[in-house]
Structure 1
Amino acid sequence: MAIRMTDLRQQANEALKRGDIEEALHLLKRLLDAPNTELERGELLIEIAAAYVFDDALDEAEAHFNDALNIAHRFRAAALQMRCLFGLGEVATRRKDHRQAIRYYLQLMPLTREHNDQQGTMRVLAAIGDTYAYMNKPAQAIEYHYQALQIATRLAHIEGQKRALSRLGNLYSLLERWDRAQDYYQQALDLATRTQDLQGESVCLGNMAMLFAATNRPTQALEYLQQAVQISRQIGDAVGEAHRLGAMGMVYASIHDYANAIQRYEEAAALYQSLNMEQAAAAMRTRLQTLRTQYDSY
């Protein structure tokens, strides 16, 4: 039975990786029906809930997280309780019930600190920061992301640092505090380059480019976007490539270089279409139609 259950879990993980949520849920529920301790059952309920979140079946996800949370309370299993609260916060966020999400995260915060789970505290701070950003409260979001950055730096947690630096850059851009935004974006870019994170480097270059575009520095914006496109092509990131090409089209249009703008929009639209990203492709085609009218008049 132990070997069979191990096989089922591996098959469920493989199904999740390839995005086959129906198969993953089927396998996880078979595991749930097998003999388990209550704590093992709680772990499985969380895995099932997470699969439902991935499938956007939020009512089912919430019910399974709550079932697991009841087990965690009954057995005073702090690690299980923390995972449940974080999951419930994510469910509330997806429902756009941001106040409820923050309530869950604030319940979670003392638990992570009580158990000296610094990475957990960092994740909760970042989640609260993201939630305040969704609520269009950038000042509060900055406060929490800065705290997350301090912990990530102390732990030398590279991914946490990059995430917090990028979020802070985005928030200061939203506030049009361009110098602060550029400083955080540059730190994120330097870190991505130093750690040879090509995906992160491409995103950071794109962020810097949008800042340059917003502050009337189109030449620098285009230079950074071209670098980002080259990296996206190098690593086979077609979605990132399409995003950067679309951004290049926007910058070219802003300086009335309509021929180059049309070319980039066409390339972006074709890529989105090949990826079955219909909404993004339609947006590019709308921009193309507008630009062609302007180009003919120009």
Structure 2
Amino acid sequence: MLEMFSRWLRRYQGIEANPLYRLAADVTVGRMPLDRALAAAQSFQVNGRIADGDLIELDHQVEFESRVNPEFALTLAQLNVATAHAKGFEKVLVDLHLRVADLLIDDRDEREREQQLRDALLTAQRISYVAGQKRSLNRLARSAFERGETEMARDLLIQQLDAGREESDTRDDIQTAILLADIALSDGDVADAHDLYHRAARSARRIGDYSSAVDALLRQVAILRERGDLHGCLMLLQQASDAADRTVDDALQAEVAFRTGALMLELEMPEVAAERLDIALDRSRRLGDLSMESRALAMLSRLDLQLDRRDDALRHFDEVIALETRLGNRTEVARARLTRGQIYLEADRPADAIRELSDARDLIRQVDDPQFSVRTHGLLGSALMLVHREVEALNELENAVHGARALGDVPGEAHWLIAAGEAMLRSGQSDHASALAERAEELARMTADNALRAEVFNLSGQIALVERRLDDAEDAFTSATAAARAAGLPGQSLHYFPLLARLAAESGAIDQALRYIDATIDEATRSGGPGMIARLPSQAARLLTVSYTHLTMSTS
């Protein structure tokens, strides 16, 4: 009862009334040497009425003083240790040893810091104080890491995890499991690393440390991705998403949502991928993370193209341009403008395509990216050709051809030669177009690209049509059809078969023309072209009319 009254009185009087506090003050101002104060702290005259609760209160004061007066805090902590040792308060003594070790931050104090940690560990082991034992092992391991003694650190960390059951894991244990997993992974022990990450994630969720849970889950994702288990990755990312949503960390939520969306896109789940990427975009804007916003916008734009949502793609690329302009990233601005130009070109809006591609060309002159430059010149030439600006188109296509040749890009050179040949043909220069087609055919034979060969044959067929060489045109389009099929592009045949049918009808081979129409129907049915199927009966009727006219003229 008297001891309880004494403790109450000291609390009432304030921490300064504690004799250990006064001793620490005397040492700090130089009125007493430290070793004399330590001896006094262990004497009954000073510590006789001090209980373990008093030492805990002093330890809280040490924590406060360490931020404003570290020298005084260290002295008070050392006196605390001496008193706890003299009184036999061993459980408190473990925590006090750890406190002193934390305060010994000077490199010259390394040996004493190590000794404090060893004393804490030995005391904790002697009294079976598991939590103190784990903390001591953790600090010793990190100290070993700092000295470069990785093997010793690993052994200490393993002892830390083995000291208690998984159900008793703390935040320190979770970080230890992650660190051990990192070491195992660097040593090539993937299975052990995966198990440790799994333990860390489970324990983190159990104690509500959701940030650490996300960290461990994302590291597991990296392992499964190396194995090629994308569906396993998706399951883990969904768990990480649930954990991230339980935090208030917008950056973490954005990162997980972005990774999930990217993986869903890879797994051909575009609709749900768009939802996750929208979340990543929203969180990044809320956070002001321009880098994540840029990544999310770029991926959303590509996703819009995949889903054939051109208006959404144009809007997202417009946002990319605004953002990258703010960041001063001219390369990404140019890429976005190039893609917008290509969208407009495919949508048969050549004027808009020319505007975007011209801007991209002007920007790319300031960036050293030859492949991008080739593509920009080539697409701009194709767009100019659609508005009958053949001279300008040929200049741009010539730049694309020369650029591809300089890069050693044989398919690229052939592709832009074909485009230049089409421009020549439009301008009435079929002889020049033939020369370009022959060169493109030579290049196409150097590759195994059947789609490219189909383009070459198509150009040759168009030239033959213009020159009224119908047999040659039929041969060229027949070859184009075969090459398109070999390239896995059955839809291309829908373009060539009607031309072949018309050529056959004009030459009087009505049976062959109808066979081409039948082939078109079969191809349209397989490739899902109902619009083409609906037009075929009228085409067949016109072919019969052409054939009848041709037959009548021949008879006459």
TM-score bracket relative to the smaller structure: 0.7 to 0.9
Counterparts of 1:40 and 1:219 in 2: how far apart (Å)? 58
- Secondary structure class of the residue paired with 2:405: helix
Counterparts of 2:525 and 2:370 in 1: how far apart (Å)? 43
Counterparts of 1:166 and 1:221 in 2: how far apart (Å)? 16
1:66 aligns with 2:318: yes
1:174 corresponding residue in structure 2: 426
Counterparts of 2:301 and 2:437 in 1: how far apart (Å)? 35
Q: In 2, are the aligned partners of 1:13 and 1:24 still within 8 Å (CA)?
A: no
Q: In 2, are the aligned partners of 1:50 and 1:87 still within 8 Å (CA)?
A: no
1:29 aligns with 2:278: yes
Q: In 1, are the aligned partners of 2:464 and 2:473 still within 8 Å (CA)?
A: yes
Q: Which of the numbers 257, 263, 276 marks the counterpart of 1:10?
A: 263
1:178 offset after TM fit, Å?
1.0
Unaligned runs of 5+ in 2: 1-213, 222-236, 238-255, 552-556
Residues 29-48 of structure 1: matches in 2 within 5 Å? Answer: 29-33=278-282, 37-48=289-300
Counterparts of 1:270 and 1:184 in 2: how far apart (Å)? 34
1:216 aligns with 2:468: yes
- Secondary structure class of the residue paired with 1:250: helix
1:288 offset after TM fit, Å?
0.8
- Secondary structure class of the residue paired with 1:195: coil
2:539 corresponding residue in structure 1: 287
* One-letter amino acid matched to 1:13: E
1:156 aligns with 2:405: no
1:219 offset after TM fit, Å?
2.2
1:117 aligns with 2:345: no
1:160 offset after TM fit, Å?
2.2
1:89 offset after TM fit, Å?
2.8
- Secondary structure class of the residue paired with 1:285: helix
1:68 offset after TM fit, Å?
2.0
- Distance change (3 Å), C-alpha of 1:295 and 1:51: same
Identical-residue share of aligned pairs (%): 16
- Secondary structure class of the residue paired with 1:196: coil
- Distance change (3 Å), C-alpha of 1:227 and 1:93: closer
Deviations 1:117-150 (A, max 9, x none): 1111112111211221222322221111111111
1:84 offset after TM fit, Å?
2.3
* One-letter amino acid matched to 1:264: Y
Q: In 2, are the aligned partners of 1:248 and 1:264 still within 8 Å (CA)?
A: yes
Q: In 2, are the aligned partners of 1:252 and 1:260 still within 8 Å (CA)?
A: yes
- Secondary structure class of the residue paired with 1:114: coil
Residues 124-135 of structure 1: matches in 2 within 5 Å? Answer: 124-135=376-387
- Distance change (3 Å), C-alpha of 1:273 and 1:149: same
1:187 aligns with 2:435: no
- Distance change (3 Å), C-alpha of 1:127 and 1:206: closer
Counterparts of 1:148 and 1:126 in 2: how far apart (Å)? 5
- Secondary structure class of the residue paired with 2:365: helix
Larger radius of gyration: 2
Counterparts of 1:171 and 1:131 in 2: how far apart (Å)? 11
1:262 aligns with 2:511: no
Counterparts of 1:48 and 1:193 in 2: how far apart (Å)? 38
Counterparts of 1:278 and 1:165 in 2: how far apart (Å)? 33
* One-letter amino acid matched to 2:263: Q
Q: In 1, are the aligned partners of 2:260 and 2:273 still within 8 Å (CA)?
A: no
Counterparts of 1:93 and 1:205 in 2: how far apart (Å)? 23
- Secondary structure class of the residue paired with 2:493: helix
* TM-score scaled by length of structure 2: 0.49
1:152 offset after TM fit, Å?
0.9
Q: In 2, are the aligned partners of 1:269 and 1:282 still within 8 Å (CA)?
A: no
- Distance change (3 Å), C-alpha of 1:284 and 1:140: farther
Q: Which moved more, 1:47-56 or 1:91-100?
A: 91-100
Q: In 2, are the aligned partners of 1:169 and 1:185 still within 8 Å (CA)?
A: yes
1:274 aligns with 2:526: yes
Q: In 2, are the aligned partners of 1:209 and 1:224 still within 8 Å (CA)?
A: yes
- Distance change (3 Å), C-alpha of 1:99 and 1:195: same
1:151 offset after TM fit, Å?
0.8
- Distance change (3 Å), C-alpha of 1:235 and 1:127: closer
* TM-score scaled by length of structure 1: 0.86
- Distance change (3 Å), C-alpha of 1:70 and 1:286: same
Deviations 1:219-255 (A, max 9, x none): 2222233333333444443223343332221211221
Counterparts of 1:59 and 1:261 in 2: how far apart (Å)? 40
1:110 offset after TM fit, Å?
3.4
